Chain A
Amino acid sequence: MNAMVVIQLYVFVLAGFVGYQVISRVPPLLHTPLMSATNAISGISLVGSLVAAGSGDHRISNILGCLAVACAMINVVGGFIITDRMLKLFKRADKSAEAK
């Protein structure tokens, strides 16, 4: 096991703890937006897909990468739009009274 993998494991475990701490403070009120938000940011696999799609060595990488970019992009774009649409809906009593 090389040093790189060890560092990656540290990053993984620590990020998991941070995630657990941050997310356990999210009120049930916002659990659905939370889910679509984590869904949107998990579209970060876009990063790996981009590298594959832009590879100059293998045609197969281009094709699989292109598909992966499309899928991840659906995830990112759809996820962020949905999250924003939901969060827009949550209003306080006084504010929704003003809106009328």
Chain B
Amino acid sequence: MRDLFTQGTYFAASIFFILGLRSLTHPDRARAGMNQAAIGMLLAVIGTLFVQEIVTYQWIVAGIIIGTVIGVPLGTRVKMTGMPQVVAISHAFGALAATLVGVNEWIIHDFGAQVSSGTMAALGFETLFGALTVTGSVMAWGKLQEVLPGKPITWPGQNVMNLSLLAGTVGLFGWLVWNPANPLAFWLMLGLSFCIGILMVLPIGGADMPVVVSLLNSYAGLAAAATGFAIGNNVLIITGALNGASGFLLSMLMSKAMNRSLTNVLFGAFGGTPAAVGSGTEGLSVRATSAEDVAVQLAYAQHVIVIPGYGLAVAQAQHVVRELAELIEKKGGEVKYAIHPVAGRMPGHMNVILAEANVPYDRLYDMDEINDQFDQCDVALVVGANDVVNPAARTDPSSPIFGMPILNADRARSILVLKRGMSAGFAGIENELFYDPKTAMLFGDAKASLTKLVAEIKAL
């Protein structure tokens, strides 16, 4: 009877989780759907507390209190710009939980002596993926938080070394499945998995973090699913599979948006050596402009497309952008926002940053939706973006970003670029767009420039 109750709650939780994710197809329904998912989680926890194996509660209560005391501030204090870091660190905690459960299962079954090969396969998978997700996520957090250098850290023979370590770990895993009661192999595998997590993320640059964070999301899911196999729990298997699929799908989407294969992101060490300076920009000059000139142009523009990049978030300029957009709209123009899939530090990050600044979500357009509209656009306003509007991706086969889908800013009637200076983007490539005769550059801090623009337009 008790067992039936527990299984019932797990069943309900699985359904609520799927419905919750399904609700994320539309922003209006999403919140209600996620509340359902939270109720599903609560049900599963209550159901578990009635399981017969649980005889003592003080450790559970202690764990729940510690987790809540850390989790609540983690959730409430994070700024929207810092979201990728928190998601990364949250992956680390989830994966650590899975790893600990795996290690515990192995220890209490007499250090593997009472573990069947099948169960060992699940346990091994769980600890391997769990452990590498823990350290990988911490590394990703470090790079995003800029505690660690964002540049890729590489050395000769790195890929060979990493792959042989991985092969060694998989070998130990195989040995354990064959003979689970092998403490040396178990601890060595666990230790190596932790190392692989670190080594895997070291050579990946800050700009590629959206892919890494998505991939770690997927790994955390797989570790949870493996836990489900090991302890025979379907809700864990289902949730792990959902999570694994979602992380995998997102990392594929992100790689595609950068026109690179997943393998290339993971092993390519993009930007490790400064790329050759772009073609044909020498001898060309940029046209610098002033806020006064631009203000007139923007005030009378009919159709403006804002192209925000991560630089906008760094300068905390999202609120001023919204203010500027409202002014243009008041003067009779129309403002849309073009969001490149890799604008920001994780999938969809820019949308959240703009939503926080009260930009209505129906003004935010995906690349595919808006790329045809640049032809009718009077001003394309590029704020803190660079590589995602570089026409070299379309025209220059020698460019490292050749083939990457970009926003067609160069097709607008005029282009206004807000930029700190003439430094190259993440990819370290010159941008011809800046030398285009249609382009005017407004140099300076994005927030200061925008504030000046707002003041100028108001004064008109």
Contact = CB atoms under 8 A, between A and B. Distances in A.
Contact of B44 (A47, A52, A79): A47
B83 A56 contact: no
Contact of A53 (B30, B63, B232, B339): B63
B352 A89 contact: yes
Contact of B41 (A28, A38, A39, A41): A41
Given A82-B78, A84-B34, A93-B362, A12 B237 contact: yes
A11 B101 contact: no
* Secondary structure type dominating chain B contacts: helix
Given A8-B232, A80-B41, A81-B76, A73 B64 contact: yes
A78 B89 CA distance: 10
Contacts of B457: none
Interface stretch (B165-173, B194-202, B218-226, B299-307): B218-226
B20 A36 contact: no
A95 to B, nearest CB: 8
Interface stretch (B49-57, B309-317, B376-384, B405-413): B49-57
Contacts of A79: 75, 90
B175 interface: no
B244 A16 contact: yes
Contact of B74 (A42, A55, A67, A78): A78
Contacts of A22: 18, 21-22, 25, 242
A48 B242 contact: no
Contacts of B94: 39, 42-43, 45, 71-72, 75
Interface in A1-26: 1-2, 4-5, 8, 11-13, 15-20, 22-26
A28 B348 contact: yes
Contacts of A52: 100-101, 104-105
B221 to A, nearest CB: 6
A87 B27 contact: yes
B221 A37 contact: no
B51 A51 contact: yes
Interface of A: 1-2, 4-5, 8, 11-13, 15-20, 22-58, 60-93, 95-96, 99
Interface of B: 10, 13-14, 17-18, 20-22, 24-25, 27-28, 30-31, 34-35, 37-38, 40-41, 44-45, 48-49, 51, 53-57, 59-60, 62-64, 66-68, 70-72, 74-76, 78, 80, 83, 86-87, 90-91, 93-94, 96-98, 100-101, 103-105, 107-108, 118, 213-214, 217, 220-221, 223-225, 227-229, 231-247, 249-250, 253, 339, 341, 346-349, 351-352, 355-356, 358, 360-364, 366
Given A54-B59, A78-B72, A82-B90, 13 more contacts: A19-B243, A28-B366, A30-B27, A32-B346, A33-B352, A40-B41, A42-B240, A49-B97, A64-B107, A69-B64, A77-B72, A79-B90, A90-B361
